[in-house]
Structure 1
Amino acid sequence: MMDNVSTVTVFTLSGFNANMNHRIVLFCLTLLCYCVILVVNISLVVTIILDRSLHEPMYILLCAFCMNGIYGTTGFYPKFLVDLLSPVHVISYSGCLVQAQVLYSYACSDLSILSVMAYDRYVAICRPLQYQCVMTKQRLLQLVCFSWMTPFCVMAINVLLTSRLKLCSTKINKLFCMNWMIVKLACFPAETTVNTIVAYLTIIVYTCHGFLIVWSYMYLVKTCLNSIENRKKFTQTCLPHLASLITFLVAILFDVMHMRFGSANSSQSLQNFIAIEFLVIPPLINPLIYGFKLSKIQNRIWGFINPKSK
């Protein structure tokens, strides 16, 4: 068996159960969803890049947020669309590791960027006189790089540890590759001890991100209660961020709760939806939330659509 597992080059994805007629419909709906995600996110990114009046920390962080959404969804949708039209649902060993890296780093980057956005709003509202000194261009660049590179490196360590395992199966019961599912295919559980330790450390790190967000909002709410002007700032700039945070956490929580407590007898369609909702709802809803709520972006987009209104 050891000789066989060392030659594993392909994984089989087993999350499909629809017949081909339904798959054509699902393919069209999925393609439409992916196109809408690309359009709304790219529109927001281009709007922020082209409009110099939007070159402020809050909008630059929003730009990074949308770019991360494009990155994460591109790691899933093209392969999923191909699988919908294919009778065989396989992915290469290296491709599986790359997909796991992209999807995990995307999710963690989202949480990192949300943490930085919470910190930005905390400084802007709770320490307004120090905002320009704290959120300098250099500091902003460092925070954006931190939000992207740290999750990428942390997930790369997890994936590299997984790549050293000898596997006794090639069947992944998901629509896409997940690092923990590859680890479960290891022949010898003892070999996965380091993987488990690093995985728990990763969870602790990003749980701390969540505590940072909660801490920031505790001070934001406390500060805004004492000032009408601050309450207005909170409503205009913090509510979209809070809505994005809730959307992200609910999507991730549903997946984690289903993995931990979900019934194995639940329908395959329900399992698939829960598995991919973090790749559907946040990347689609977040740009719409910010586009409709932030007046500067809303006015700028309307100006592109209807130049005569300027």
Structure 2
Amino acid sequence: MNVTYIALAGYVEVEKYKYVYFIIMFTSYILILSSNAMVVCLVVIHKNLHEPMYIFISALLINSMLFSTAVYPKLLIDFLSEKQIITYQMCLFQTYLFYSLSGSEFLLLAVMSYDRYVSICKPLQYPTIMKKNTVSSFLVSAWIVPACHISVAIILLAHLKLCSFTLKGMFCNNSINYLLCAASRELIVYCSVVLFNISLLPMLFILFSYTMILKVAYRSCGEVRKKAAQTCLPHLMVLINYSSLLTYDVIVVVLASDMSKILRFVMTMYVIMCSPLFNPIIYGFKMKEIYKHLMRLFYQTKGK
């Protein structure tokens, strides 16, 4: 069996700064895993956090850890390697994980917006609508639907011929299209459908949900407005932050030949370091109940 290798050409002076890059990225990866895991553990341990909203937050944070694990280990290996290469099969697998988990992020945010909509706009029906089975179905769908969508795209991609073996990036994503001799019409159409189904459609649903919430909050008393602000603002901040990742991904592909290597490198580092760290910080400090447990844990640890 022939093994095709792809050169990753997105690194900047890796020989000169490899240990600096490695330490920064290793520290970032440990912080991402520990901060996200801490909030998830708090939700698991404390019974008053066993509610749909906090369960969805935990799922989102687990997704962030999986997303980082799809990128970081290979980066850490590459920083200390003489050649930054990857087999085409592994490149396809990394692309699959990257977009499957990205789609899951948007679907989880969509589910969270629906949860907030029911909680604020239909509070009396909330226990009936958001049952355990419903929550479980939402969680399973959020991971299964993007995984199935992306798997078809990867299968189509795997059957196309390569004319280039140098990827203008640090890991495999949309840029893989530039390795192809010619993208098939079926792949282009299908990828457009996937983009709409697992990113644009959830975003439209989220915007619709929060518009309805704002209308209800505006007409209601101060207590409802306060509840809407406390629970919806963190979700919106995470949505805006994650949408910037999708925008970046599109920009990188469109401007592949015009973007400088250093700018691409800096933007990539920002996305993979800051975005996964953003979620636990926002939910840890902006969600009142989680923040309360975090502070209690901090003072207990400090007391010891």
What is the Cα deviation at residue 20 of structure 1?
2.4
- Mark the CA change 1:192 to 1:181 in structure 2 (over 3 Å): closer, same or farther: farther
Given the alignment of the two structures, is residue 194 of structure 1 paired with residue 186 of structure 2, yes or no?
yes
Given the alignment of the two structures, is residue 307 of structure 1 paired with residue 300 of structure 2, yes or no?
yes
Letter in 1 for 2:294: I
Q: Whole-Å Cα distance in 2 between the matches of residues 266 and 166 of structure 1?
A: 26
Picking from 202, 217, 229, the partner of 1:224 is 217
Q: Whole-Å Cα distance in 1 between the matches of residues 210 and 245 of structure 2?
A: 20
Count of aligned pairs: 300
Letter in 1 for 2:185: T
Give the SS at the match of 1:280. Answer: helix
Q: Whole-Å Cα distance in 2 between the matches of residues 183 and 253 of structure 1?
A: 17
Q: In the TM superposition, what are the counterparts of 1:1-310 in structure 2 within 5 Å?
A: 7-178=2-173, 180-187=174-181, 189=182, 192-205=184-197, 206-227=199-220, 228-260=222-254, 262=255, 264-307=257-300
Could you list the runs of 5+ residues in structure 2 that have no partner in the other structure?
A: none
Letter in 2 for 1:131: Y
Contact in 2 for aligned 1:240/1:289 (Cα 8 Å) = yes
Q: Whole-Å Cα distance in 2 between the matches of residues 118 and 285 of structure 1?
A: 18
What is the Cα deviation at residue 204 of structure 1?
1.7
Letter in 1 for 2:209: S
What is the Cα deviation at residue 276 of structure 1?
4.7
Contact in 1 for aligned 2:66/2:101 (Cα 8 Å) = yes
| Alignment TM-score, normalising by the size of structure 2 | 0.93
Letter in 1 for 2:10: G
Q: Whole-Å Cα distance in 1 between the matches of residues 175 and 243 of structure 2?
A: 21
Letter in 1 for 2:103: C
Give the SS at the match of 1:167. Answer: coil
What is the Cα deviation at residue 263 of structure 1?
7.1
Q: Whole-Å Cα distance in 2 between the matches of residues 124 and 145 of structure 1?
A: 21
Q: Whole-Å Cα distance in 1 between the matches of residues 216 and 76 of structure 2?
A: 48
Could you list the runs of 5+ residues in structure 1 that have no partner in the other structure?
A: 1-5
Contact in 1 for aligned 2:14/2:79 (Cα 8 Å) = no
Contact in 1 for aligned 2:238/2:279 (Cα 8 Å) = yes
Contact in 2 for aligned 1:252/1:278 (Cα 8 Å) = no
Q: For each residue in 1:36-65, what CA deviation from the matched residue of structure 2 results, as whole angstroms up to 9, or x when unmatched? A: 111110111111111121110000000000
What is the Cα deviation at residue 24 of structure 1?
1.5
Give the SS at the match of 1:239. Answer: helix
Q: Whole-Å Cα distance in 1 between the matches of residues 275 and 287 of structure 2?
A: 17
Contact in 2 for aligned 1:255/1:274 (Cα 8 Å) = no
Give the SS at the match of 1:153. Answer: helix
Give the SS at the match of 2:184. Answer: helix
What is the Cα deviation at residue 129 of structure 1?
0.8
Q: Whole-Å Cα distance in 2 between the matches of residues 128 and 155 of structure 1?
A: 36
Contact in 2 for aligned 1:72/1:279 (Cα 8 Å) = no
Letter in 2 for 1:130: Q
Contact in 2 for aligned 1:38/1:70 (Cα 8 Å) = yes
Q: Whole-Å Cα distance in 2 between the matches of residues 153 and 76 of structure 1?
A: 20
Deviating more after overlay: 165-174 vs 129-138 = 165-174
Give the SS at the match of 2:232. Answer: helix
What is the Cα deviation at residue 19 of structure 1?
4.6
Q: Whole-Å Cα distance in 1 between the matches of residues 192 and 200 of structure 2?
A: 10
**Identity over aligned residues, as a percent?**
33
Contact in 2 for aligned 1:186/1:192 (Cα 8 Å) = no
What is the Cα deviation at residue 23 of structure 1?
2.2
Q: What is the aligned-residue RMSD (CA, Å)?
A: 1.8
Contact in 1 for aligned 2:175/2:253 (Cα 8 Å) = no
Q: For each residue in 1:145-190, what CA deviation from the matched residue of structure 2 results, as whole angstroms up to 9, or x when unmatched? A: 1111111111111111111122222211111112x43343233x2x
- Mark the CA change 1:159 to 1:277 in structure 2 (over 3 Å): closer, same or farther: farther
Give the SS at the match of 1:76. Answer: helix
